[in-house]
Amino acid sequence: MRKWFSTLPPYIQATIFAVCASITASMSSIMIRLGTAEIDPLQAVFLRNLFGLIMIAPFALRSGFAPLKTARLPMFGLRAVLSMGAMTFWFSSIAYLPLAEATTLNFTVPLFGTFLAAVFLGETIRKYRIAALLAGFIGVIIIIRPGSETMQWASLLPIIAALCMASAGLTIKSLSKTENSTTIVLYMMVLTTPMTFIPALFVWQTPDLPTIGIMLGVALFANLTQIFNTNAFRVYDYSFVVGFNYLRLPIVVAIAFVMFGEIPEIWLLPGAGLIIGAALFIARREAKLAKEADRIKRGPSAAASDIEPPSKRR
């Protein structure tokens, strides 16, 4: 099977990985909803990290403790704090909001990422991306409708989670320059597990076996999502792969309707359209600029080889 899969075109491989990532991410959200119906979201976050660490540690440390060697522990600590915030707000949003609304509002991660990169990294935001950011945040306003009778303060939870995720993404971008992916993932689990245990103590209740099974499922699906996404980005362009992330919405809507009887509000459709459209535009714009920068870096000869047919290249 692996040999056959390796013969497929890269974009087909990336598609399969990305679709699998959307499915496992959706299943993780469903399992979080089931788990937080039995235990507090703070305890659910701790169990997700604990079980995730138990699952990943044997693979990450199979060659010894070399992945734990780093000179950037403070940056890992910052990443862990941001990841803890992201998971806490995300789990809480799933517990208190309709799944479709929480999922859609969480799609604002790329919007916040673009804004934060401009503020903290000095990256230039040109008029097209400014327009995309405005469109995306108009979509958020359409969904939460500030001042209306139907507005829920819980709607801010997935937005704050998205802000934390985008901030954590910047730390990962920095860490990836000097650390390998195994070290980054392992340290996140090693640090967030004891950090999330402290708030979990204040709401602790001994989970029964079905709840433990659910939280094991959350950790498993979350880890699989990371693996599928990593492989998809490895074999093909980011701008192509990221579009499949939004398959989570129809999957979650369908499952939430069948399992919980949730019917999305009509305002979700235009809001989701603006948020997803803005995020996709930013992703494709970033990919185009990255290719142009790489072409300039490689020089005129590289630009010529990009145009020349593969059959004529030496």
pLDDT at residue 312, as a whole number: 46
Contacts of 131 by beta carbon, 8 Å cutoff, 6+ apart: none
Q: What is the mean pLDDT of residues 134-143?
A: 90
The pTM (predicted TM-score) of the whole model is: 0.85
Name the least confident of 97-106, 193-202, 203-212, 229-238. Answer: 229-238
Own/partner contacts of 186-189, CB < 8 Å, gap of 24 or more, are 186/56, 186/57, 186/60, 186/61, 186/67, 186/68, 187/68, 187/70, 187/76, 187/79, 187/80, 188/76, 188/79, 188/80, 188/83, 189/49, 189/52, 189/53, 189/56, 189/57
pLDDT tens, position by position, 32-54: 999 999 999 999 999 999 999 99
What are the boundaries of each domain within the chain? 9-300
Least Cα distance to 36 among 150, 183, 285, 203 occurs for: 203
For residues 264 and 250, the answer to whether their CB atoms sit within 8 Å is no
Distance CA 193, CA 4 (A): 39
> Which candidate, 123, 197, 124, 114, places its Cα nearest to that of 163?
114
> pLDDT (tens digit, 9 = 90+) per residue, 268-304?
889 999 999 988 888 877 777 667 767 777 765 554 5
The pLDDT score that the predictor gives to residue 244 is 85
Sequence-ordered list of residues with C-beta below 8 angstroms from that of 264, at least 6 positions apart, any chain: 98, 100, 101, 253
Does residue 113 carry a pLDDT above 60? Answer: yes
Q: How far apart are CA 159 and CA 238, in angstroms?
A: 23
Report in angstroms the alpha-carbon separations of 41 from 165, 205, 215, 217. 17, 12, 11, 15
How many CB atoms neighbour CB 297 within 10 A?
A: 8
How many C-beta neighbours within 10 Å does residue 141 have?
Answer: 11
Q: Report the candidate in 41, 27, 151, 30 with the shortest Cα–Cα distance to residue 85.
A: 41
